[in-house]
């Protein structure tokens, strides 16, 4: 699934996260299922928590990780799809 | 626990009121057997004492030494492993942790009820409540949470605070002095005769009846025994159960008339999460945040994980496969010792390892 980066992220009120040594574990309180994020995923999670805007997250990630846009877009799409499937986030079109 | 006289008296009354000469009784998690013994003395036709712990052997010795009626059957197994011909009329249990759902004992009680209780049968207890109240408890809070923010021996441990403030604290009248900031209220009411799950996902709103600083919420349970309620509230008689303190961080100043909402969530075998909202400011705490969890540990908890045995797992598997009734413990331990000299300094170490597995799985 490809997500349009002009969307904003709504993080589930049931998601609790903790960061340990650069990695993040997210718990979905609704299902008691755990979700793990590596260092890159952790940074994306931090940015969507801070900004909510995917485009901003994309721009910051591109700059910080010095990665090609296509590759970053694909990786972000994969992660966002997994998080949506797990019910941790939903995406919303910007007004 | 066996000498918790207040609890024992309440259970005793309930047992004597419902047991008669036709009663078949199951004492689940029997421990030292007291409740089953009381049922036998009350004239029950048959009493099953079920407990997987070895303490049941002591119960059996106590039963014999007290010349208790020969209607008692001791089942040193898990409830899921026992066979009972027909059904039982009464299930007695003390299947409650300090905050009812802690220790996750209730799922086994629900299993026992569904499998063994006859239609129209009784349970002691047959209903249970969890109650909570916002409290101010400066001394306890200073000692257990604020203390993290001051160095010890020149080492700054302040990062511990974020873990500590997400813990459940078990406390009692002696070590936990507090003032209630409102009247206690029920956050959970479980009908043990019908419940299929032992979990909590409830929210309430309270009006403060006192000015003060809310350091957290205090919780306890009540169990319905026959026709009376047994309570582990700090305002009631002391029992062997503790109360549970769910801290806030930072503490929240409150005033008379102010409304505070409290949400408590806990799935079976899951994390405890409590959320407090006052004047649109929300604080959420969870036992999930009370310990660091790494991705390596996490991976093992995920349902799509494809696990592989580690070295120790392979050894355990190898030993278990040898437990086929043909080899002596000594033979198995010798082979293990010879094939893994790096793991065992002496043959007796390998022997102890094998015996542990034998005790657990045979």
At residue B164, the pLDDT reads 97
Closest to B49 (Cα-Cα) out of B79, B69, B19: B79
Say how many CB pairs under 8 Å bridge A and B: 43
What whole-number distance in Å separates Cα of residue B262 and Cα of residue B280?
A: 12
Q: Where are the beta strands (DSSP E) in chain A?
A: 7-11, 15-20, 23-28, 33-37, 89-93
Helices vs. strands in chain A: H and E counts, helices first: 3, 5
Q: Where are the beta strands (DSSP E) in A40-86?
A: none
Q: CA-nearest residue of chain A to B163? A: A18
Nearest to B289 among A16, A34, A36 (CB): A16
Token pair, residue B18, equals: 């419902």
Question: Across the interface, do B286 and A25 touch by the CB < 8 Å criterion?
Answer: no
Token pair, residue A41, equals: 């995923």
Residues of B in contact with A37 (CB under 8 A): 295
Interface of A with B (CB under 8 A): 16, 18, 20-21, 23, 25, 27, 29, 32-38
Residues of A in contact with B277 (CB under 8 A): none
At residue B321, φ and ψ (nearest 5 deg) are -70, -25
A53 or B243: which leads in pLDDT: B243
Three-state secondary structure call for residue B347: helix
Residues of A in contact with B270 (CB under 8 A): 32
Cα–chain-centroid distance for residue B335? 40
At residue B297, the pLDDT reads 80
Residues of A in contact with B289 (CB under 8 A): 16, 18
Cis upstream peptide for B207 (omega within 30°): no
At residue B259, the pLDDT reads 97
At residue B290, the pLDDT reads 96
Question: Across the interface, do B295 and A18 touch by the CB < 8 Å criterion?
Answer: no
What whole-number distance in Å separates Cα of residue B277 and Cα of residue B260?
A: 6
Q: Which of A17, A25, A28 is most worth mutating to test chain B (most B CB atoms within 10 A of its CB)?
A: A25
Q: What is the mean pLDDT of chain B?
A: 94
Angle (nearest 5°) at CA B339 between B333 and B340: 85
At residue B220, the pLDDT reads 97
Q: Which residues contact B356 (CB under 8 A, 6 or more apart)?
A: none
At residue B228, the pLDDT reads 95
What pLDDT tens digit does each residue of chain B (362 aa) get? 788 999 999 999 999 999 999 999 999 999 999 999 999 999 999 999 999 999 999 999 999 999 987 899 999 999 999 999 999 999 999 988 899 999 888 999 999 999 999 999 999 999 999 999 999 999 999 999 999 999 999 999 999 999 999 999 999 988 999 999 999 999 999 999 999 999 999 999 999 999 999 999 999 999 999 999 999 999 999 899 999 999 999 999 999 999 999 999 999 999 999 999 999 999 999 999 999 888 888 778 777 778 899 989 999 999 999 999 999 999 999 999 999 888 888 999 999 999 999 999 99
For residue A59, the distance in angstroms to the closest alpha carbon of chain B comes to 27
Question: Across the interface, do A23 and B295 touch by the CB < 8 Å criterion?
Answer: yes
At residue B69, the pLDDT reads 79
Nearest to A38 among B270, B295, B303 (CB): B295
What is the number of other CB atoms lying within 10 angstroms of the CB of residue B259? 13
Interface of B with A (CB under 8 A): 265, 267, 269-271, 273, 284, 286, 288-289, 292-295, 298-299, 301-303
Three-state secondary structure call for residue B143: helix
């Amino acid at each position: 699934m490809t997500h349009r980066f002009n969307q904003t992220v709504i993080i589930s009120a049931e998601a609790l996260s903790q960061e340990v040594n650069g990695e993040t574990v997210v718990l979905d309180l609704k299902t008691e299922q755990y979700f793990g994020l590596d260092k890159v995923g952790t940074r994306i999670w931090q940015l969507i928590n801070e900004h909510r805007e995917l485009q901003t997250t994309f721009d910051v990630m591109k700059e910080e990780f010095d990665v090609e846009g296509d590759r970053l877009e694909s990786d972000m799409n994969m992660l966002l799809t997994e998080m949506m499937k797990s019910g941790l986030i939903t995406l919303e079109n910007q007004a | 626990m066996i000498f918790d006289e207040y609890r024992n008296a309440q259970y005793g009354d309930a047992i004597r009121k419902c047991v008669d000469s036709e009663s078949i009784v199951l004492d689940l998690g029997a421990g030292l057997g007291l409740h089953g013994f009381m049922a036998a003395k009350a004239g029950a036709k048959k009493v099953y004492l079920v407990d997987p712990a070895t303490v049941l052997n002591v119960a059996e010795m106590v039963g014999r030494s007290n010349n208790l009626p020969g209607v008692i059957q001791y089942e040193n197994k898990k409830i899921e492993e026992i066979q009972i011909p027909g059904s039982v009329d009464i299930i007695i249990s003390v299947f409650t942790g300090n905050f009812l759902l802690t220790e996750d004992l209730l799922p086994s009680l629900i299993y026992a009820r569904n499998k063994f209780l006859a239609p129209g049968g009784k349970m002691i207890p047959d209903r249970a409540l969890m109650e909570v109240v916002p409290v101010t408890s400066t001394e306890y809070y200073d000692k257990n949470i604020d203390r993290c923010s001051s160095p010890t021996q020149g080492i700054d441990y302040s990062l511990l605070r974020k873990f500590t403030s997400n813990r459940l604290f078990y406390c009692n009248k002696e070590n936990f002095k507090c003032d209630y900031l409102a009247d206690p209220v029920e956050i959970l009411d479980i009908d043990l005769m019908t419940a299929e799950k032992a979990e909590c996902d409830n929210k309430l709103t309270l009006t403060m009846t006192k000015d003060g600083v809310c350091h957290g919420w205090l919780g306890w349970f009540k169990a319905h025994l026959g026709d009376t309620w047994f309570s582990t509230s700090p305002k009631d008689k002391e029992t062997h159960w503790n109360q549970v303190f769910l801290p806030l961080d930072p503490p929240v100043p409150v005033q008379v008339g102010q409304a505070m909402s409290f949400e408590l969530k806990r799935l079976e075998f899951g994390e405890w999460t409590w959320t407090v909202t006052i004047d649109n400011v929300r604080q959420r705490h969870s036992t999930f945040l009370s310990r660091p969890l790494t991705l390596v540990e996490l991976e093992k908890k995920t349902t799509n994980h494809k696990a592989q045995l580690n070295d120790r797992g392979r050894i355990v598997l190898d030993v278990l496969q040898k437990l086929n009734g043909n080899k002596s413990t000594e033979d198995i331990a010798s082979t293990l010792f010879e094939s893994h000299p790096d793991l065992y300094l002496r043959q007796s170490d390998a022997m102890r390892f094998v015996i542990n597995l034998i005790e657990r799985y045979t």
